Amino acid sequence: MSAIERYEVPRDVETAAEILRGGAVTILAGGTDLMPQSKAGRVSFGKVLMNIRRIPELMGVAEADGMIRIGALTSIADLLELDTVGRRLPVLWQAADQFASGQIRNMGTIGGNICNASPAGDTLVPLLVLNAEVELASKAGGRLVTRRVPLRDFLLGPGRTARRPEELLTAVAVPVPPDGFRARFAKLGTRPALDISTVSVAVGAVVRGGAAEDVRVAFGAVAPRPIRGPRTEATLDGRPLAKAVIDAAAEVAHDEVTPIDDVRATAWYRRQMIHNLTKEVLSHVAAA
């Protein structure tokens, strides 16, 4: 049963924001979360279904003022094909490469992945390590206004974000990583394709003269939302990425995460795997 009264296909952000101001709008991008979730009865539609896939402003990647801005409609497949992502944000590329299947990558968008706010959302973990900010547009006092929110403040819990109902996520912006920044993502599932991450880890750092600086660690599927690991980061900051340091950091990571038991894995197993993956990813960053 659907209570949808109107179907809208805006051609620009301004019109989309105007429609959102009217309230009770369900936004449709690739539909790869919305369709299964609505069929399963886990989400119900608002009065208006708004398809944002015909808005050119939400497409494409651009670099300006030290930020790389990725349009909300950029598909996971696009991320793999965009030279900017492959060269400048390889950690995001790695997550896209391990995402679902070819078909889902062709449909699913980065904006949808962010707004769906799954604890296991695969682009979210590298985006946290890249200090990403989301760009939100809305209509206020007859004008289009935008605000930027750090991703770590935007994600609140499973399926919950700081997006106000009248806001459209227009892009995700990532500061150009500093010189010498190396980062890596790894996820664990029961099979390579089409598996929701049991756990995932991304680590980034500037390795200079042997020591790691600006260390950033993020974990997926071990908390109600993808999280940064400040305690793990602190054990690494300013230290050489030697085996003893990596082992110590993996121990801290093991204790820092707060996973749950569910159908995919037990909390105990998740902690062990966070330990192992953190070690693996750090060793790769050290060797890069």
Partner 1 sequence: MSLLREIRFTLNGVARQVSVPVTMTALAMLRDVLHLTGTKYGCGEGECGACTILVDGRSVNSCVMFAVDCDGRQVTTIEGIAADAQWQPLRESLVEHGGVQCGFCTPGMVVQASHVLSRDPHADRQAIKRGLEGNLCRCTGYKKIVDAVVAVADAGGKVAP
Interface positions with partner 1 (CB under 8 A)? 1-2, 4-7, 9, 28, 31-32, 34-36, 38-39, 45, 49, 51, 53-54, 77, 100-104, 106-107, 192-194
CB 44, min distance to ligand FAD, A: 11
Is residue 134 part of the contact set for ligand FAD (CB under 6 A)?
A: no
Q: Which stretch binds ligand FAD (CB under 6 A): 25-33, 147-155, 229-237, 262-270?
A: 25-33
Q: What is the dihedral of CA 257, 36, 10, 116, to 10 degrees?
A: -10
Q: Is residue 108 near ligand FAD by the rule CB under 6 A?
A: yes
Element (H, E) at 199: strand 199-208
Taking CA atoms, 108 is separated from 46, 74, 152, 170, 286, in Å, by 21, 8, 21, 15, 32
63 neighbors 170 (Cβ within 8 angstroms): no
H-helix or E-strand spanning residue 157: strand 155-157
Which of 121, 126, 177, 226 touches ligand FAD by CB under 6 A? Answer: 121
Residue 99 binds ligand FAD (CB under 6 A): yes
The pair of three-digit structure tokens given for residue 77, joined into one six-digit string = 């497949």
What span, in angstroms and rounded, lies between the C-alpha atoms of 18 and 266?
A: 45
Residue 67: CB minimum distance to partner 1, A: 28
Residue 226 in the binding site for ligand FAD (CB under 6 A) = no
SS3 64: strand
Distance in angstroms between the alpha carbons of the first and the last residue of the chain: 53
Between residues 59 and 234, which has the closer beta carbon with respect to partner 1?
A: 59
Within residues 152-171, the interface with ligand FAD by CB under 6 A covers 163, 168-169
What is the rounded distance in angstroms from the CA atom of residue 208 to the CA atom of residue 229? 21
Interface residue list for ligand FAD (CB under 6 A): 26-34, 36, 52, 72, 99-100, 104, 107-109, 111-113, 115-116, 121-122, 163, 168-169, 194
